[in-house]
Amino acid sequence: MRNKVWQSGVKLLTAAAALGLAASFCSTAQAEAPYKVEGNAVDQATFKGWKLYKRQRCETCHGPTAEGGAAFPNLLTGLKNMSEEDFKATVLNGRNNMPAFNGNKAVVDGIDGLYAYLKGRSDGAIPAGELKELP
């Protein structure tokens, strides 16, 4: 009997700890966007991501606003349903008609900024077009 009470106490504590963890995880996940933006000025990594998007031909297929076209997916909607890991795997390994970029050093090194830029575009936080770098 005594043992049973102790066991359910432990279960309750474990459940409470799990809930607490989940809550703190959710709030930090929400608070931390991978980019900083003020108007059309973004942090350095995101700025580099924007340059990569233009220079590494992402723009050629996915369009200057990243909204895609007939044969190319819209990355603004695409990134809403995609984890950062999925994004990186798709860009680095390629998929169907999407070329692999794992042999492209600039893209490999700048993948975080590329993700930050497109995530910001997808969130509606970063405007299309010319960007500046935050001081």
CB atoms within 10 A of CB 21: 10
Between CA 74 and CA 96 the distance in angstroms is 16
Q: Which is nearer to ligand HEC, 39 or 69 (CB)?
A: 69
In sequence order, the 6+-apart residues with CB closer than 8 A to the CB of 119 are 33, 34, 35, 79, 84
Q: How many residues does the chain have?
A: 135
What does the DSSP assignment read for 80-105? GG--HHHHHHHHHH-BTTBPP-TT-H
Residue closer to ligand HEC, measured from CB, 3 or 81? 81
Of 6-14, 33-41, 55-63, 123-131: span binding ligand HEC (CB under 6 A): 55-63
Stretch near ligand HEC under the rule CB under 6 A, chosen from 4-12, 38-46, 91-99, 125-133: 91-99
117 makes contact with ligand HEC (CB under 6 A): no
Interface residue with ligand HEC among 87, 119, 120, 126 (CB under 6 A) is 87
**Contact positions toward ligand HEC, by CB under 6 A?**
56-58, 60-62, 72-73, 75, 78, 82, 87, 90-91, 95-99, 101, 107, 114
